[in-house]
């Protein structure tokens, strides 16, 4: 299996760099969820070797809307790097993606290192701030279709993120309205309560998953809590914004150039 881990990790890394989709692996050479996280780690190691820097972690499938859209029903996590950071209000180059989608998220930045599982009561104490955010996901698999193991191996489709202005108000997060707009039109509406009942639960979950993987997350790391609604496909020139009531908004404009291949929407 170790050769398979290296082979799949290399293929996924190449697909991401070249923005070329791959067939799912799990259908032809099945692997376990533990092996999927090993593939994820091996593929990220290639990026770190090339100078990319880890800036935090993301959770996936923390809302029912996302689970239903993608047909997957377990929480997953992956890595965020500096190369994924896009400027709030900036232009995002669609040329580096295969079939990108955007989804509304809540982003935390940690104040203390997370080295053990946290309770929900202590979670806020580990945080410096929270901000409205947009995640750009771009599955490396054809037609954006995958099994749970495939998507974990693919670093949970992580590709980009835009983070808005930071706030220290964690109390308002329980049930804040979430709107995602494309060209000013509301395309997704929801609530932060859709994220595991409360976005702080994502932090608790992240701490448990990291402890299980024997990973300590340094202070100053970003944690993306997972999308509150389904994701929307990005198209050339589109302006995407996300507003979280009480926390403001963030957004970006897609470059005019076409992405190499547009995926099908779930």
Which residue ranges make up the site for ligand OOG (CB under 6 A)? Answer: 58, 60-61, 66, 70, 103, 135, 137, 139, 151, 156-157, 226-227
Q: HSE on the CB side for 203, CA within 13 Å?
A: 30
Q: Which of positions 145-174 make contact with Mg ion (CB under 5 A)?
A: none
Q: Are 123 and 157 within 8 A, CB to CB?
A: no
Nearer to ligand OOG, 159 or 241 (CB): 159
Span of 76-84, 112-120, 130-138, 170-178 interacting with Mg ion by CB under 5 A: 130-138
**Residue in 35, 88, 135, 138 binding Mg ion, rule: CB under 5 A:** 135
Q: Is residue 217 within the footprint of Mg ion (CB under 5 A)?
A: no
Q: Is residue 130 within the footprint of Mg ion (CB under 5 A)?
A: no
Q: What's the min distance (Å) between Cβ of 140 and Mg ion?
A: 15
Q: What's the min distance (Å) between Cβ of 132 and ligand OOG?
A: 14
Task: Give me 214's structure tokens.
Answer: 């024997």
151 is in the binding site of which of Mg ion, ligand OOG, none (Cβ under 5 to 8 A by kind)? Answer: ligand OOG
DSSP code string of 10-79:
HHHHHHHHHT--B--STTTS---HHHHHHHHHHHHHHHHHTT--EEEEEEE--SHHHHHHHT--S-EEEE
190 is in the binding site of which of ligand OOG, Mg ion, none (Cβ under 5 to 8 A by kind)? Answer: none
Rounded Cα distance between 239 and 154, Å, is: 27
Distance of CA 215 to the CA centre of its chain: 18
Rounded Cα distance between 223 and 146, Å, is: 24
Q: Is residue 227 within the footprint of Mg ion (CB under 5 A)?
A: yes
Residues that bind Mg ion (CB under 5 A): 135, 227
């Amino acid at each position: 299996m170790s050769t398979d881990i290296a082979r799949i990790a290399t293929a996924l890394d190449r697909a991401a760099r070249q923005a070329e989709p791959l067939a799912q692996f799990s259908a032809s050479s099945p692997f376990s969820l533990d092996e999927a996280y090993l593939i994820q780690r091996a593929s990220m190691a290639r990026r770190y070797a090339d100078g990319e820097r880890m800036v935090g972690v993301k959770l996936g499938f923390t809302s029912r809307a996302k689970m239903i859209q993608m047909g997957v029903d377990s929480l997953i996590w992956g890595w965020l790097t500096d190369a994924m950071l896009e400027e709030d209000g900036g232009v995002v180059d669609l040329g580096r993606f295969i079939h990108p989608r955007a989804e509304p998220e809540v982003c935390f930045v940690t104040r203390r290192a997370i080295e053990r599982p946290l309770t929900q009561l202590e979670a806020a104490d580990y945080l410096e701030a929270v901000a409205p955010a947009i995640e750009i996901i771009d599955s490396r698999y054809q037609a954006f279709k995958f099994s749970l193991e495939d998507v974990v191996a693919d670093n949970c489709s992580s590709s980009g993120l835009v983070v808005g202005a930071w706030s220290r108000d964690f109390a308002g997060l329980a049930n804040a309205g979430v709107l995602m707009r494309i060209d000013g039109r509301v395309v997704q509406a929801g609530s932060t309560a859709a994220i595991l009942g409360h976005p702080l639960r994502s932090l608790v979950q992240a701490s448990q998953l990291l402890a299980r993987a024997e990973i300590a997350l340094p202070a100053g790391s970003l944690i993306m809590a997972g999308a509150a609604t389904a994701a929307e496909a990005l198209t050339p020139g589109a302006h995407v914004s996300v507003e979280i009531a009480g926390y403001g908004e963030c957004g970006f404009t897609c470059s005019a150039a076409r992405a190499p291949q547009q995926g099908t929407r779930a």
